[in-house]
Amino acid sequence: MRNRTALSRAGVAPDRSPSQDADDPRIYVGLQGLRSLEAAARAISFLPKQPARSALQGRHRSRIRGRGLDFEELRDYLPGDDVRAIDWKVTARAGSPYVRVYTEERDRPTLIVVDQRMSMFYGTVHNTKAVTAAECAAIVAHRVAKQGDRVGGVVFGDSELDELRPGRGRAAVTRFLTSLETANHRLKADAPNVTPMPFNDVLAAVARLATRDHLVILISDFDACDDETERRLGAIAMHNDVVLGLVGDPSADVVPDKGEVTASDGQKQTLLDFQAEEVRVGLAQVTGSRRDQVAAWQKRMRLSVLPLTTAEDTLAQMVRLLGGRAR
Same domain, 87 and 187: no
> 326 in a domain, yes or no?
no
> Is residue 92 domain-shared with residue 236, that is, in the same domain?
no
Residue 179 burial (CB < 10 Å; 0-12/13-18/19+)? buried
| Confidence (pLDDT) at 194 | 85
Residues 100, 210 share a domain: no
Whether the Cβ atoms of residue 181 and residue 157 lie closer than 8 Å to each other = no
Same domain for 286 and 223: yes
Positive or negative, the CA dihedral 39, 216, 203, 165 is positive
pLDDT at 250: 86
- Note whether residue 33 is domain-resident: yes
**Which of 81, 104, 127 is the last residue in one of the domains?**
104
Helix (H) or strand (E) holding 264: strand 260-264
* pLDDT attached to residue 244: 95
Predicted structure pTM score: 0.77
Based on the domain organization, do 79 and 173 belong to the same domain? no
260 pairs with which residues across the strands? 273
- Residues of the domain holding 287: 2-64+107-321
Q: Give dist(CA 117, CA 219) in Å, integer.
A: 12
How close are the terminal C-alpha atoms of the chain, in Å?
Answer: 46
CB 257 within 8 A of CB 278: no
The one-character DSSP state at 272 is: E
Co-location of 7 and 57 in the same domain: yes
pLDDT for position 33 = 95
Residues 76 and 189 in one domain: no
Question: In this structure, are 78 and 197 located in the same domain?
Answer: no
Q: Is 327 part of a structural domain of the chain?
A: no
Same domain, 285 and 149: yes
Dist CA 149 CA 146 (whole Å):
7
Eight-class DSSP state of 127: -
| pLDDT of the chain, 327 residues: tens digit per residue | 233 333 444 444 445 555 556 678 889 999 999 999 999 888 887 766 666 667 776 433 445 565 555 566 788 888 888 888 889 999 999 999 998 876 555 578 999 999 999 999 988 889 999 999 999 999 999 999 998 899 999 999 999 999 999 999 999 999 999 999 999 999 998 878 888 999 999 999 999 999 988 999 999 999 888 899 999 999 999 999 899 999 998 877 766 665 565 555 555 556 565 666 665 565 655 666 778 888 889 888 888 899 999 999 999 999 998 876 655
End residue of a domain, out of 104, 131, 163: 104
Count how many domains the chain has. 2
pLDDT for 38 equals 94
Cβ-based neighbour number of residue 307 at 10 Å: 15
Return all residues near 81 (Cβ < 8 A) that are at least 6 apart: 99
User: What pLDDT sits at residue 61?
Assistant: 45
Q: What are phi and psi of 87, to 5 degrees?
A: -90, 105
For residue 193, what pLDDT is reported?
Answer: 82
Same domain? For 13 and 87 the reply is no
